[in-house]
Structure 1
Amino acid sequence: MAGPVYRGGLPPTERDENTPAINMGRLWGGGIATAVVAALFAAAGVLIMRGVLDIPIMAPKSQGTFGDSTTAAYMVMAGVGGILATLLLHLLILMAPAPLSFYSWIAGLATLMITVLPFAAGTTLSVKVATALINFVVGMVYVALLPQVAAASLRSAPARPEVRGPR
């Protein structure tokens, strides 16, 4: 007599050899590290634009090299973007075929959108270009680092020993 039949052919607690296992600690640890890198790139970009190139992004010139609380909020949003990108990647790994390809397309298009977004603001061209450049670099952090984090977090499920016997 055959055992119970499950959709996909395996009981819910078993995986076939082709099902990837994900190391959650490694994925989310790498995602948090990516978020920190993105936030630091945002801060460095603001410092370069304001302090070196004298372009008053994120705050008026009178606020100094780092700007005001807007700069801190910009850094936090860059970090939150990294966490959200990690969540998206995690969901794609669990549910999508070719998750790294889909992630790369989604992250690339989101990077395009955040790069173009400053040009919709009513400010000087230099501020628009400077902000777009920082946004592009922050987006590229997500595009470049998170697929590597995911690849390092995925491992094949351990093969089950083959049981031979009468059928």
Structure 2
Amino acid sequence: MLDRREHHRTALEPPDTVILPYTAADEPADRPEPGRAPVASRLWAGGAATALVAGLLAVVGILLARGVLGIAVLAPDGAGAWGDADTTGYPLVAAGCAFVATALAQLLLSTTPDALRFFTRIALLVTAITAVLPLSLDVPAPSRVTTAVLNVAIGIAITVSLRGVLRRSTTWGPRRTGRRTP
């Protein structure tokens, strides 16, 4: 009868090699699985910075369109370079979209293989939707096109920024699963 320390040798094994049988009892209960582990604090700090960038980009876009180009975006012509109270909501919505995108990124990191690729595709499709929506409004063509271009710029800024945040807010290393695998 074979002892645990002995094993039949094959032609491929060197003569002094001893192979011990593997049992599930030898495995720790908290066996780490290799992969990417998200660091939530980095992700949300990057998401907050992205929200600030998106809001400021909306402000710059509105001021450029209304003040420099003279295109009535998000408010009537006589409302000045900034517009009216409705214009204030646009940067806030842009910042809110960045936070929603950050939440989506965290969900995808936790549940999806290749989260970065899926996040990018989803974010770009949402950006495409926000570009097409203003084109269907019943307002002058320059306002529609300018709003669509501004939406695309904000969407791309959010997508590119959060892609970098996703890459830097995950670490290679073990993830504790709490399950036993032989």
TM-score (norm 2): 0.79
The gaps in structure 2 that reach 5 residues or longer are 1-22, 177-182
CA distance in structure 2 between the aligned counterparts of 1:155 and 1:120, rounded to whole angstroms = 43
Q: CA deviation at 1:24?
A: 1.1
Structure number with the higher strand fraction is 2
CA distance in structure 2 between the aligned counterparts of 1:130 and 1:32, rounded to whole angstroms = 26
What is the identity percentage for the equivalent residue pairs of Structure 1 and Structure 2? Answer: 35
CA distance in structure 2 between the aligned counterparts of 1:129 and 1:48, rounded to whole angstroms = 14
Q: How many residues align?
A: 153
Q: Choose the corresponding residue for 2:32, options 15, 35, 53.
A: 15
CA distance in structure 2 between the aligned counterparts of 1:58 and 1:132, rounded to whole angstroms = 12
CA contact (8 A) 1:43 1:71 kept: no
Q: Choose the corresponding residue for 2:112, options 96, 118, 130.
A: 96
Structure number with the higher helix fraction is 1
The verdict on how the C-alpha distance between 1:10 and 1:50 changes in structure 2, with shifts beyond 3 A counting, is farther
Q: CA deviation at 1:95?
A: 0.3
CA contact (8 A) 2:36 2:175 kept: no
Q: 1:114 and 2:124 equivalent?
A: no
Q: 1:68 and 2:84 equivalent?
A: yes
Counterpart secondary structure, 2:32: coil
The gaps in structure 1 that reach 5 residues or longer are 4-8, 161-167
CA distance in structure 2 between the aligned counterparts of 1:38 and 1:45, rounded to whole angstroms = 10
Counterpart secondary structure, 2:37: strand
CA contact (8 A) 2:62 2:82 kept: yes
CA contact (8 A) 1:51 1:66 kept: yes
Q: 1:61-102 CA deviation, whole Å, 9 max, x = no partner? A: 221100111111011100000000000011000000100000
CA contact (8 A) 2:37 2:175 kept: no
Give the CA RMSD over aligned residues: 2.0
Q: CA deviation at 1:21?
A: 1.5
Q: 1:148 and 2:160 equivalent?
A: no
Task: Give the ranges of 4+ consecutive aligned residues of structure 1 lying more than 4 Å apart after TM superposition.
Answer: none
